[in-house]
Structure 1
Amino acid sequence: MDDPIGQAARQIEESRKGVPQIRAFFDDATNTVSYVVHDPETRRTAIIDSVLDYDAAAGRITYTSADAILAYVGEQQLTVEWLLETHAHADHLSAAPYLQERLGGKLAIGKAILTVQETFGKLFNEGTAFARDGSQFDHLFEDGDRFMIGNLAATVLHVPGHTPADLAYVIGDAAFIGDTLFMPDYGTARADFPGGDARTLFRSIRRLLTLPAETRLFLCHDYRAPDRDDYRWETTVAEQRASNVHVHDGIDEDGFVAMREARDATLDMPKLILPSIQVNMRGGHLPEPEGNGTRYLKIPLDAL
């Protein structure tokens, strides 16, 4: 039996007649890219890494980004089967429950979300009412799991390092790789969040880069390199191996770890990490209202 990477590579080789249709939605406020991926034959669909708009200063939630996805799904007459999260994001709130209520589909993430829930459950001093068993999601994927989106084959790869629970979804000839890699001129994800590890990230990235050279890689973020004026979020395995500034072929593990740890030490925490993780570890569900009918997010002091 093939290992998960072998399964994914064979899937890519066999997918010439089953290329997914992909529509990207870029959120300027968080530099996040969400994707609607559908099988052109059956119009069955997955939504990946959706965004709920959050005004931190006002504590106000709106739905402009999610409504754009809703409109597109309606216009294209798509049927949503999956709402997929690559990980518990630290830079935006997930809109998956909002979309699921209106479009259906199963909400899924990696099984290692249990580690994230345990770590951040303690950080936010959550009581016993907060389940740490992943039950906020409909499905928990493990490395090598396979599923279908209509007639499109999909393979799940566990790629930890940025967080313990990161997944890549290889769908047809395309891989949606979350925060492992950025565009080649920008580099790689940070690895200094609780549960992150630069050495593990390097190994996950190198694993992804053993996929066929022509594999299309779709990224969760773009922040624009200093000499680039436009936002980009699609690249290939070949391009990453040739020119990623942090992890191109020839960069060894120790060199990457030294670079990544030194760079991470200079970075501020993401502006929305505390509200984002607090919501996303719940599958995108907001905290329950308190006695006065208002929902509250906690801000632990001096904890990160």
Structure 2
Amino acid sequence: MPALVQPFFHAPTSTVSYAVYDRPGGIAAVIDSVLDFDAAAGRTGTGSADAIAAFLAEHGLTLDWILETHIHADHLSAAPYLQRRLGGRIGIGAGVTQVQEHFGKIFNDPLSFRPQGQPFDRLFADGETFAVGTLQSRVLHTPGHTRDSVSYLIDDAVFVGDTLFMPDGGTARCDFPGGSAAELFGSIRRLLALPEGTRLFVCHDYAPGGRVHAWETTVAEQRRANIHVRDGVDEAAYVALRTARDRTLPMPALIIPAVQVNAAAGRLPPPDSNGVVYLRVPVNVL
């Protein structure tokens, strides 16, 4: 039986989280979970994560892995909340240490941004394998959007993070620290060298043209129709297109809280002496 996949769409950030499992009553991984966050009010919520937990309970699933494809800049991770409720190990690509080091300097906060990869439970190297129950899984380092970006190949399904969008959405931006359009092109060609029937699951969908939201595609569909990197588009053309487009994009609305929280595996900073948690805002830096 191929990997069973249940998506969860988070409308405020256009993020898609996934529960991946081998069988009902079996073992599951959760990929790119979301902690609800009202930036104007400074309030968090767990409704999105609770929906994932309810699905796992309904299907009798044991949570083994809570996986991040990279340090997200557009939403906060619910990984520690899910871990407290259901157990499991929090994993991310080994390149996270570079991201932690960079943003630790920007936020002047070495305790939250620990360059050794803490407090993640597992740092995955390129090509490393692991199991989700009976499903064999492999980590593919796919940098370009960020230095720590990885894709998870679980059976016949690949969870590509922000590397690719649906074919009519193209590809992710490359103007974050450590980003590289040339590297992203190479990462995408690596993914598109997989068998044509391989299922690809994206982390975001912005529904271009007002279509219905979608998140599952295939290698064959991407090679034929991706507006940025379909077959026939070479690296130079892609880099020129991606670089020009990135110059027009605004900063993600939640990048300041998201990077602080996600670099600490989704953990909020410790409370001050008054019991209140505070996030830092670097002024005139980003």
Question: Quick check: 1:41–1:151 contact (8 Å CA) kept in 2?
Answer: no
**Aligned partner (choices 122, 126, 134) of residue 139 of structure 1:** 122
Following superposition, which runs of at least 4 residues in structure 1 exceed 3 angstroms of deviation?
127-130
Structure 1, residues 219-245: CA drift from partner, whole Å, max 9, x if none? 00000112x420000000000000100
Which segments of 5 or more consecutive residues in structure 2 lack a partner in the other structure? none
Judging changes above 3 Å, is the alpha-carbon distance between structure 1 residues 143 and 129 closer, same or farther for their aligned structure 2 residues? closer
How many corresponding residue pairs? 286
Instruction: Confirm whether residue 290 of structure 1 aligns to residue 268 of structure 2.
Output: no
- Tell me what 1:60 maps to: 43
Aligned counterpart for 1:78 among listed residues 61, 69, 85: 61
**Is it true that 1:263 corresponds to 2:245 in the alignment?**
yes
- The corresponding residue for 2:85 is 102
SS at match of 1:179: coil
Question: Which residue matches 1:154?
Answer: 137
- Residue matched to 1:90: 73
TM-score, with normalisation over the residues of structure 2?
0.98
1:184-237 deviations in Å (ceiling 9; x for gaps): 0110000001111111011100111000000000000000112x4200000000
Any conservation in 2 of the 1:42–1:150 contact (CA below 8 Å)?
no
Report the aligned-residue RMSD.
1.0
Give the whole-Å Cα distance in 2 for the aligned partners of 1:207 and 1:290: 46
Map Cα deviations across residues 133-169 of structure 1 (whole Å, 9 max, x no partner).
1121000000000011111000100000000000100
Corresponding residue to 2:182 among 191, 199, 202: 199
Unpaired segments ≥5 residues, structure 1: 1-17
Q: 1:131: how far off?
A: 2.2
Alpha-carbon distance in 1 for matches of 2:208, 2:242: 17
Alpha-carbon distance in structure 2 between the residues aligned to 1:294 and 1:91: 23
| 1:136–1:128 CA distance, 2 compared to 1 (3 A) | closer
Structure 1 position 210 matched with structure 2 position 193: yes
Identity %: 57
Q: Scaled by the length of structure 1, what TM-score is found?
A: 0.92
Which whole-Å deviations, capped at 9, do the CAs of 1:15-69 have from their partners, x for residues lacking one?
xxx3011100000000000000001176100000000000000000011100101
Q: Give secondary structure in 1 for the equivalent of 2:130.
A: strand
Contact 2:97 2:114 in 1 (8 A): no
